[in-house]
Amino acid sequence: MSENPTTHTPIAVGDGAAIPHKSDAGLFTAWRIAFFGSILLCLFLAFGRPDQYLAIFKFIPDGILVTFKVTVGGILLAIVFGLIAGLGRISSNRLINGAASLYVEIIRGVPLLVQLFYIYYALGRFVKIPDIVSAIIAMAFCYGAYMAEIFRAGIQSIPKGQMEAALSLGMSRRQAMRQVILPQAFKVVLPPIGNEFIALLKDSSLVSILAVADLLRRGREYASESFNYFETYTVIALVYLIMTLFFSKLISMMEERLNEGR
Amino acid sequence: MKAASRPMIEVSGVSKFFGSFQALSDVSFSVQDGEKVVIIGPSGSGKSTILRSINRLETIDRGRIVVNGMDVSDPKTDISKVREEIGMVFQSFNLFPHKTVLENLTLAQTVVRKRSKKDAEEIAMELLRKVNIAEKAAAYPAKLSGGQQQRVAIARSLAMNPKAILFDEPTSALDPEMIGEVLDVMKNLAREGMTMVVVTHEMGFAREVADRVIFMDHGRIVEEGTPEHFFTSATHERARLFLSQIL
- Residues of chain B with Cβ-Cβ distance to A166 below 8 Å are 96, 108
- Residue A17, in any domain of the structure: no
In whole angstroms, give the CA distance from residue B200 to residue B217: 14
- Residue A220, in any domain of the structure: yes
Q: Which among A162, A172, A184 is the nearest to B80, CB-wise?
A: A172
- Residues of chain B with Cβ-Cβ distance to A160 below 8 Å are none
Whether residue B108 is predicted with pLDDT greater than 90 in this model: the reply is yes
**Interstrand relation of B164-168 and B195-199 (parallel, antiparallel or unpaired):** parallel
Whether residue A112 is predicted with pLDDT greater than 60 in this model: the reply is yes
- Residues of chain B with Cβ-Cβ distance to A180 below 8 Å are 96, 107
**Long-range contacts formed by A183-186: CB under 8 A, 24+ apart:** A183/B98, A184/A158, A184/B96, A184/B97, A184/B98, A185/A151, A185/A154, A185/A155, A185/A157, A185/A158, A186/A154
- Residue A82, in any domain of the structure: yes
In a mutational test of the B interface, the residue from A169, A173, A178, A262 whose CB has the highest number of chain B CBs within 10 Å is: A169
Q: Using pLDDT thresholds of 50, 70 and 90, give the confidence band for residue A52.
A: confident
**Cα A83 from chain centroid (whole Å):** 14
Whether residue A183 is predicted with pLDDT greater than 90 in this model: the reply is yes
Whether residue B5 is predicted with pLDDT greater than 60 in this model: the reply is yes
Contact between A170 and B112 using a beta-carbon 8 Å cutoff: yes
Whether residue A231 is predicted with pLDDT greater than 80 in this model: the reply is yes
Contact between B142 and A262 using a beta-carbon 8 Å cutoff: yes
Nearest CA in chain A to B158: A169
Predicted pLDDT of residue A4: 44
Number of Cβ within 10 Å of residue B70's Cβ equals: 15
In whole angstroms, give the CA distance from residue B40 to residue B60: 20
Nearest CA in chain A to B98: A184
Q: Using pLDDT thresholds of 50, 70 and 90, give the confidence band for residue B160.
A: very high
Whether residue B1 is predicted with pLDDT greater than 70 in this model: the reply is no
Contact between A169 and B108 using a beta-carbon 8 Å cutoff: yes
Predicted pLDDT of residue A7: 55
Contact between A170 and B80 using a beta-carbon 8 Å cutoff: yes
- Residues of chain A with Cβ-Cβ distance to B88 below 8 Å are 164-165, 168
Predicted pLDDT of residue B148: 96
Predicted pLDDT of residue B243: 85
In a mutational test of the B interface, the residue from A160, A162, A167, A168 whose CB has the highest number of chain B CBs within 10 Å is: A168
Q: Which among B83, B98, B153 is the nearest to A170, CB-wise?
A: B83
pLDDT tens per residue across span A149-169: 999 999 999 999 999 999 999
Contact between A169 and B95 using a beta-carbon 8 Å cutoff: no
pLDDT tens per residue across span B54-81: 999 999 999 999 999 999 999 999 999 9
Structural domain tally of chain A?
A: 1
Q: Which residue has the higher pLDDT, A128 or A29?
A: A128
The whole domain housing A180 covers 64-260
- Residues of chain A with Cβ-Cβ distance to B55 below 8 Å are 168
Contact between A170 and B84 using a beta-carbon 8 Å cutoff: yes
- Residue A36, in any domain of the structure: no
Crossing angle for the helix pair B176-191 and B146-158, to the nearest 10 degrees: 20
Mean pLDDT along residues B21-28: 94
pLDDT tens per residue across span A123-154: 888 888 888 898 999 999 999 999 999 999 99
State what percent of residues in chain B have pLDDT above 90: 89
**Interstrand relation of B195-199 and B36-40 (parallel, antiparallel or unpaired):** parallel
Q: How close B91 comes to chain A (CA, Å)?
A: 10
Using alpha carbons, select from B119, B196, B193, B118 the residue that is nearest to residue B157. Answer: B196
- Residues of chain A with Cβ-Cβ distance to B84 below 8 Å are 169-170
Predicted TM-score (pTM) of the model is 0.83
In whole angstroms, give the CA distance from residue B165 to residue B54: 11
Average pLDDT, chain B: 93
- Residue A238, in any domain of the structure: yes
- In the DSSP assignment, the letter for residue B6 is P
Mean pLDDT along residues B111-134: 96
Ranges A9-23, B25-39, B196-210, B226-240: which has the least confidence? A9-23
Mean pLDDT along residues A169-189: 94
Whether residue B140 is predicted with pLDDT greater than 90 in this model: the reply is yes
Whether residue A19 is predicted with pLDDT greater than 80 in this model: the reply is no
Mean pLDDT along residues A44-68: 90
Mean pLDDT along residues B166-187: 95
Contact between B111 and A187 using a beta-carbon 8 Å cutoff: no
Whether residue A96 is predicted with pLDDT greater than 60 in this model: the reply is yes
Average pLDDT, chain A: 87
In whole angstroms, give the CA distance from residue B169 to residue B5: 29
- Residues of chain A with Cβ-Cβ distance to B57 below 8 Å are 164, 167-168
Whether residue B8 is predicted with pLDDT greater than 70 in this model: the reply is yes
Predicted pLDDT of residue A3: 40
Q: Which among B98, B112, B156 is the nearest to A184, CB-wise?
A: B98
- Enumerate residues 123 to 182 of chain B having a beta carbon within 8 A of any beta carbon in chain A: 140, 142, 153, 156-157, 160
Give the containing element (helix H, strand E) for A148.
helix A131-156
In whole angstroms, give the CA distance from residue A180 to residue B199: 26
Give the containing element (helix H, strand E) for A143.
helix A131-156
Whether residue B2 is predicted with pLDDT greater than 50 in this model: the reply is no
- Residues of chain B with Cβ-Cβ distance to A163 below 8 Å are none
- Residues of chain A with Cβ-Cβ distance to B140 below 8 Å are 261-262
Whether residue A10 is predicted with pLDDT greater than 80 in this model: the reply is no
Predicted pLDDT of residue A32: 86
Q: Which among A165, A187, A262 is the nearest to B90, CB-wise?
A: A165
Cα angle value B221/B225/B226 (rounded, 5°): 145
Mean pLDDT along residues A231-256: 91
- Residue A52, in any domain of the structure: no
- Residue A16, in any domain of the structure: no
Whether residue B18 is predicted with pLDDT greater than 50 in this model: the reply is yes
CATH at A68? 1.10.3720.10
Contact between A171 and B108 using a beta-carbon 8 Å cutoff: yes
Q: How close A84 comes to chain B (CA, Å)?
A: 23
- Residue A34, in any domain of the structure: no
The answer to whether B186 and B147 are in contact (CB under 8 A) is no
B40 phi, psi to nearest 5 deg: -125, 170
- Residues of chain A with Cβ-Cβ distance to B58 below 8 Å are none
**Cα A135 from chain centroid (whole Å):** 14
State what percent of residues in chain A have pLDDT above 70: 88
Q: Using pLDDT thresholds of 50, 70 and 90, give the confidence band for residue A6.
A: very low
Ranges B122-131, B166-175, B226-235: which has the least confidence? B226-235
